[in-house]
Amino acid sequence: MKFTLAQLKKNAYNKPFSFSGEVDVSELEIMNNDIREIEPVQVQGICNMQGEQFFFTFTMTGQMILPCARTLVDVPYPFKIEAKEIFTSSAYFADEDDSEIHPIHGEVLDLMPFIKENILLEVPFRVFADNVDSNELIQQGNGWEVLSEKPNEVKIDPRFKKLESLFKDIEKE
């Protein structure tokens, strides 16, 4: 979602400028986070202008797939995130780290980094799947597998097979 300063100044001068659209944020899947899949996100909002500042209030709705904290199966997680961002086109604005006002560099304002940032901030710490079928559970992965706890199953490591004969000799004595 990109807006030119001329477009914003023209449309948001006396009244709020409304915008809506669908954005593709699928690159969040390849980042180092728990999002396995994310559908295109619907963004709706308004922009108000006051002097050299632009006040954006927007809502992002969509659905992402996250891993279950217990079983690692896919859990669909619908979200609705409301965000407020303030931008300025003033050349005299001091870019401070603690400021909540974002400077606009150039003639185009790109909302995509702020949309992605707000989505990443709202990813829950953990989610749980409802009514997981035992057939859906992941039983093995890269270098690991789930073992059952049946007491009758005693598997001897083949590397220790020779040691078993030593114990038989001790029992005979």
User: What is the per-residue pLDDT across 8-44, written as a single tens digit (0 to 9) for each?
Assistant: 888 888 889 999 999 999 888 888 788 899 999 999 9
At 133, give phi and psi (nearest 5°).
Answer: -75, 140
The pLDDT value recorded for residue 73 is: 84
CB 49 within 8 A of CB 9: yes
Half-sphere exposure (Cβ direction) of 105: Cα atoms closer than 13 Å: 2
DSSP summary character for residue 71: T
Token look-up 């005299």 returns: 92
Q: What's the average model confidence in pLDDT over 101-112?
A: 87
Give the residue from 148, 50, 65, 95 showing the smallest Cα distance to 104. 95
The pLDDT value recorded for residue 150 is: 64
CA distance 34 to 94: 36
Dihedral class, residue 51 (left if φ above 0, else alpha if ψ from -120 to 50, else beta): left
Token look-up 């896919």 returns: 74
Q: What's the pTM value of the predicted model, to 2 decimals?
A: 0.72
- For 61-86, b where at least 16 C-beta lie within 10 A, e where not — what string? ebebbbbbeebeeebebeeebebebe
CA distance 25 to 85: 19
* pLDDT-derived band at 114, boundaries 50, 70, 90: very high
